[in-house]
Amino acid sequence: MKVLHVEGGRHYYGGARQVVYLLEGLARRGVENLLVCPPGAAIAEHAAPFAQVLPTRLRGDLDVGSVARLHARIRAARPDLVHLHSRRGSDVWGGIAARLAGVPGVLSRRVDNRERAWAVALKYRLFDRVIAISDGIRDVLLDEGVSPQRLRCVRSALDARPWLQPVDRAAFRREFGLDDDAIVIGVVAQLIRRKGHRHLFDALKTLHPERPRLRVLLFGQGPLRADLEARAARDGLASIVRFVGFRDDLPRWMGGLDVLAHPADREGLGIALLQAQAAGVPVVASRAGGMPEAIEDGVTGFLVAPGDVPALADALRRLVDDPGLRESMGEAARARVLERFSVDAMVEGNLAVYREALDARAASRRTSGRTSQRTK
């Protein structure tokens, strides 16, 4: 089987990591992979051992010309199937390009935001199958009218091995300038509005005066950094909140956190939640999107309603104040991630969708051929 994958993002965030996990797993199963991505995209280096990388100009939703460029790639490669992994224009334009080339198309949907009814009606009929990476996303798509015959759920996965390594606590504290008695909350997310940093800041205004040892590390980058820095200063939090940027060495440090906070308003599943749990860190997250699938409330962490600042503060307070609870939840979290979110299960799930799409397309051609013969 030959599969042409399209990933339109430039950064190596959670979705791009999932694509590389998939490419590696498919390559081990004898699938020939090709990856179309923008020139200079960070995924190229990571994908190169498992796929032929085809740098191609992809400029987003308004780049109509990407249809022709993607169509040319598909025609030249002659894959059995096209798998579109990201939105940013490559979903619609890639779906049209695959249709024009007569090749089955599969779309992965990684976010749970709702779309306009007319867009849903036009867009999703382009694809032979749509893969939701969580039940939460699947439910949104079903509610919007996507046909259940086209829709499948294959949960995102985690290669847990890098996250299982023990953390040198002294090195962790030196790296981030922390006192020995600091209790550390981490956030691993792009600095964008839907990740809910503002909710955490509001909770910290209550928690910080009560618990002066509290420190917060914000991992990630994004357009809201300056605004969040200004807000931290305005709210009297600048002394405890540290913006540490995007870190390639995050697996080395994740286990040094006492708690991961993820108060997002929306989230497809939340790879950072899985990473933290694999590192033995309990999580406080929102009860939205696919996050309830990643966190077992009261067992591996706590779930709160999106934007419920008092509940967020209370959940964080319980973990900050109880090291025994942090330890027991962290152990349960690691065991659950290892059991339920394996890369092998994700790869096999995607491969099953590929086979189903190819079989359905072949059956449709046979039926069309018989109909054509009867009408002659």
Closest C-alpha to 2, from 91, 107, 76: 76
Mean confidence (pLDDT) of the chain: 94
> Which domains does the chain possess?
2-157+342-375 (3.40.50.2000), 161-340 (3.40.50.2000)
Give the number of residues written for the chain. 376
Query: And the tokens for 119?
Result: 């867009």
Contact between 285 and 262 (Cβ < 8 Å): yes
Rounded CA-CA distance 226/319 in Å is: 29
Spatial neighbors of 174 by CB under 8 A, at least 6 apart, are none
pLDDT, position 370: 64
Per-residue pLDDT for 376 more than 60?
no
| pLDDT confidence bin for 144, thresholds 50/70/90 | very high
User: Are 318 and 210 a contacting pair, CB within 8 Å?
Assistant: no
Over residues 6-13, mean pLDDT: 90
Tens-place pLDDT, residues 160-169: 999 999 999 9
Read off the pLDDT of residues 278-303 as tens digits, 9 standing for 90 and up: 999 999 999 998 899 999 999 999 99
Q: Tell me the per-residue pLDDT of 349-370, one tens digit each, with 9 for 90 and over.
A: 999 999 999 999 998 787 766 6
pLDDT at residue 42 tops 90: yes
Describe the crossing of helices 323-340 and 271-278 by its angle, rounded to 10 degrees: 110
pLDDT value at residue 87: 74
55-87 pLDDT per residue, tens: 999 988 888 999 999 999 999 999 999 999 987
